[in-house]
């Protein structure tokens, strides 16, 4: 049982790395100035990580493993599109996905729409779909794995958002563009190196 828990923890940490990296980026972009915003984003990431892991487990009954061959291409393409959108909106202050805050509320930062948070949550969790399929072929203890995958993603995302907030305050408005570039690089990595 100890080996099983170590494997589940390592798998959960590995799956949460994309969510962590995107969380740092969102924190730098000013999306995480309040703990409630950090909790909302991290909770969304944890939810989708667990949901896609469950869908992977369930899909064993319906699809073959060949579908998972393309998951890195799908995730990479979406990350590149989202990164380009972040840069475009950083350069064009009238972006509809991000709500600019008036100068009076500058300390509260910007807000992400639920649609954008969900898109980031799904894109960073596509690997969990493949992991759920693979996990289901080998192990039977699903509840522990799903809870661990979800909680680790939530926890690491919250840490990433907090770190990104501090880093963003150090580098100022260049954080928006740097964040978009980081998301694009994650997408390129997913496409070309997985």
Tens of pLDDT along 50-75?
999 999 888 876 665 555 567 677 77
Domain extent, residue 113, equals: 2-192
| Contact of 117 with 44, CB cutoff 8 Å | yes
Would the pLDDT of 157 be above 60?
A: yes
Q: What is the DSSP letter of 75?
A: H
Q: How many separate domains does the chain show?
A: 1
pLDDT tier at 163, thresholds 50, 70, 90: very high
- Tokens for 181? 């570039």
Taking the C-alpha atoms of residue 165 and residue 193, their distance in angstroms, rounded to an integer, is: 29
| Contact of 46 with 157, CB cutoff 8 Å | yes
Instruction: Give 111's strand partners.
Output: 99
pLDDT tier at 42, thresholds 50, 70, 90: very high
């Amino acid at each position: 049982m100890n080996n099983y828990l170590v494997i589940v923890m390592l798998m959960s940490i590995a799956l949460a790395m994309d969510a962590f990296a995107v969380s740092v980026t969102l924190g730098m972009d000013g999306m995480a100035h309040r703990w409630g915003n950090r909790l909302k984003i991290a909770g969304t990431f944890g939810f989708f990580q667990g949901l896609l892991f469950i869908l992977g487990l369930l899909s064993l009954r319906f699809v073959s493993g060949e579908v998972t061959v393309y998951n890195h291409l799908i995730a990479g393409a979406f990350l590149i599109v989202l990164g380009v959108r972040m840069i475009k909106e950083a350069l064009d202050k009238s972006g509809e996905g991000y709500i600019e805050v008036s100068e009076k509320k500058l300390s509260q930062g910007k807000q992400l729409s639920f649609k954008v948070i969900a898109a980031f949550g799904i894109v960073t969790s596509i690997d969990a779909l493949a992991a759920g399929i693979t996990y289901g072929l080998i192990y039977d203890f699903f509840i522990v794995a799903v809870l661990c995958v979800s909680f680790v993603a939530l926890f690491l995302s919250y840490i990433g958002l907090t770190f990104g907030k501090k880093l963003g305050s150090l580098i100022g408005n260049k954080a928006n563009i740097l964040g978009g570039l980081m998301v694009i690089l994650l997408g390129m990595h997913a496409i070309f190196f997985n």
